[in-house]
Each structure stands twice: as C-alpha cells, then as structure tokens.
Amino acid sequence: MSWGAALFAMSAVSAIAQIGQGRAQQDEANYNAQLVEQEAQNIDIQKKIDFGKFQRLKGKFLSTSTANVAGSGIALQGSAVAVMVNAQTQINIDQAIGQFNLDQEKNYKLNQADSIRRGGDQAVRTSYGNAFSTLLGGASSYIQYGNPLRKGQPQPPSTRRFI
C-alpha cells in the first residue's frame, strides 16, 4: 500500500468517526429534548393541581363568607354580596395569572426542547461537512503521494532521501 493510499484510508476512518460523533451528539440532543418535553408535560399536571387548589379556595371562601353573613343576621344582598363577588373575582384573577404563567413556562420548555433538537441536527450536518473536508484532504494526499499512474511522484516528507 502506498503512502498516499494509507493517508486516504486514515482519512476515511477519520471521516466515519466524525459522522459517528455527529450522530452521537444528535442522539444525546434528542434524549435531552425528551427530558425537557417531560418537564413541559409536568407543567400541565401542575396546572391541574393549581386549578383544583383555586377551586377549593373559592368554594371555601364562598361558604365561609356566606356562613359569616348569615350568622350575623344580614341578608345576602347589597354590600355583603358585592364583597363576596369581589373576593371571587380577585381569586379568579389570581388563578388566571397562575395559569398564564404556567402556560408561558410550558412554552419556554417546548421551545428549549426544539432548540436542543436543532443543535443535534446541526451537529450531524457539521459532521458531514467535516467528514467531506477530511476525505478531500485524504484524496489530495493520495494524489500527491500515492497515485500509481503518476511518474516521478514525490515521497512523503519523512521518507525523502537527501544525498
């Protein structure tokens, strides 16, 4: 095997390794993206829990307020009802803000997962470009040092003889 052929073979092995490395990075990115997507799914679970907490809070506040007003002998009308409606409205606003914040957090997680996945895809594309470049370098070495059709080809630098 000529020196150029050996260089080309080493280039091919290196190119295959580069592609393998890109694929491994893509696999890792996909795994990490799945973890982040699971976090996004957990946010949906958190939303349901928070929704239930607010529903219980509203029910508790309404029943306590109703019992207090009725116990004091005031009829459920006018200012007493206005205070209870206002309290329910404020709880609904707090609930909506909490749900909105969780939706924003979930969207952030899903975008983060997409970004991680795109990074893995980019690693594969980069690995193909690097592999192609490596193969071109190997082909150049083969042409320079190992082309059997070329007469009077130069010897590799380490084997040149000087007289």
In a domain, 162, yes or no: no
Residue 51 belongs to a domain with what CATH number? 1.10.287
What gap in Å lies between CA 116 and CA 121, rounded to an integer?
Answer: 9
Q: State the average pLDDT for the chain.
A: 84
pLDDT attached to residue 162? 57
In a domain, 161, yes or no: no
In a domain, 160, yes or no: no
The number of folded domains in the chain is 1
By the 8 A CB rule, do 61 and 87 touch? yes
Note down the domain range covering 60.
3-155
State which H helix or E strand residue 156 sits in.
none
In a domain, 26, yes or no: yes
Least confident of 41-45, 69-73, 109-113, 147-151: 147-151
What gap in Å lies between CA 140 and CA 118, rounded to an integer?
Answer: 33
- pLDDT tens, position by position, 33-55: 999 999 999 999 999 999 999 99
pTM, two decimal places: 0.66
Least confident of 8-12, 49-53, 92-96, 107-111: 8-12
Q: Which whole-number Å values give the CA distances from 15 to 10, 118, 147, in the listed order?
A: 9, 22, 21
In a domain, 85, yes or no: yes
